[in-house]
Amino acid sequence: MISGAKTAKLTGMRFDRPFLRLPITFCAQTLAAEVSALPASAWMPHPQGFAGNDAVPLVAADGGLNDRLRGEMAPTEHLARLPYIAALMAELGGVWGRSRLMGLGAGAEVPGHVDTNYYWRTHIRIHIPVITNPQVTFTCGDESVHMAAGECWTFDSFQRHNVQNMGKEKRVHLVLDTVGGERLWALLDAAGRGSVPSGPWMPDARETPALNFERVNTPAVMTPWEMRCHLDYLAGHLPVGVPARGALGRMERFISVWHATWAQFGEREEGRATYRRLIETARTDLAALGAGDMILNNNVPFAYALDALIFANALTRVQAEPVARQTAPVSLAS
């Protein structure tokens, strides 16, 4: 288990260690009772078809029963049946994106993968076990933990991670995606200082929890400042000795020209053709510079990650194939 003795640093939505346990716990019995009362029809197959994996959408795009990552997020019909879960979400204080109950059957696993999607660059994922057993193991990077029922955890999804349930019963986690919030960041800071969780939290019955949901999660036109943030983040994941000067220099030029175009057009429709040309030219040049052969320290090709974080989301509706997609050694989680 992670002791929490070392102070955690948050760097671009990622921590300097694989796991971080928040100093708050929830009532495992209340959680299990609420979830067990849901009808079997509430459970949907995993969007990528992983065997033994299913989910109940609680917060989703337009409040529908879907797995979309874009669009205005709203509570589904199932969250209304879970008052304790709604209350703990309010207590955590996040602005909530897509959130679900996620089931993992006996003997099943979540295959190893790295989350390179733009959504995961901008969100953290909170895990609260509802029903579990000692044979459930979550591995991230080179560390493994068993998350006990009622505990509250987050982890670095830009490291390779997987989950195995070697027990004889289904595991259910409450999985909450968020860009954060004042109360949640305070809890994360306290976790980094090694704060110890107290007894199970229970809501004040006199209060009606108010939940906040994200309305904006994808830029119409990505700003040059956001691009710079993503590029710096990826450059920090290049191992020492990787010959990256040419590709990084090309990206610097791309962002500089994008900045000039952004200053001229912003989100105006007449700028779209120019934006699109800049993206496709940069993709071609990076392929010629061997960006697909540059591997990050999580074994993801640099060009693949660039496309996922910048090019594929720099201009809404740009849908060209990512550079070096065929070489990516990971599956992208939904």
**Torsion angle in degrees (nearest 10) through CA of 157, 149, 201, 7:** -40
Q: Within the chain, how many helices (H) and strands (E) appear?
A: 9, 13
Sequence letter at residue 55: A
pLDDT of residue 14: 59
Across residues 93-108, what is the average pLDDT? 96
Q: Side-chain half-sphere of 50: how many Cα atoms within 13 Å?
A: 23
pLDDT of residue 277: 97
Asked whether the predicted pLDDT for residue 269 surpasses 90, the reply is yes
Work out the angle at residue 142's Cα, subtended by the Cα atoms of residues 136 and 148, and round it to the nearest 5 degrees: 30
Confidence of residue 329 (pLDDT cuts 50, 70, 90): very low
Confidence of residue 242 (pLDDT cuts 50, 70, 90): confident
For the chain, percent of residues with pLDDT exceeding 90: 78
Cα-flanking dihedrals φ and ψ of residue 16, to 5°? -85, 15
Decide the pairing of beta strands 124-131 and 95-104.
unpaired
The answer to whether 46 and 67 have CB atoms below 8 angstroms apart is no
Q: Is 108 left (phi over 0), alpha (psi -120 to 50) or beta?
A: beta
Cα-flanking dihedrals φ and ψ of residue 210, to 5°? -110, 125
Across residues 51-77, what is the average pLDDT? 94
DSSP state of 315: B
Q: Tens digits of per-residue pLDDT, 125-182?
A: 999 999 999 999 999 999 999 999 999 999 999 999 999 999 999 999 999 999 999 9
Q: Tens digits of per-residue pLDDT, 14-46?
A: 567 899 999 999 999 999 999 999 999 999 998
Mean pLDDT value across the chain? 89
Q: Tens digits of per-residue pLDDT, 220-238?
A: 999 999 999 999 999 999 9
pLDDT of residue 322: 37
pTM higher than 0.75: yes
Of the candidates 176, 45, 42, the residue with the CA atom closest to the CA atom of residue 100: 176
Across residues 102-117, what is the average pLDDT? 93
Asked whether the predicted pLDDT for residue 95 surpasses 70, the reply is yes
Q: Tens digits of per-residue pLDDT, 276-299?
A: 999 999 999 999 999 999 999 999
Q: Which helix H or strand E contains 259, and what residues bound it?
A: helix 245-265
Of the candidates 89, 53, 110, 65, the residue with the CA atom closest to the CA atom of residue 177: 89
197: which 2 tokens?
């969780």
pLDDT of residue 326: 29
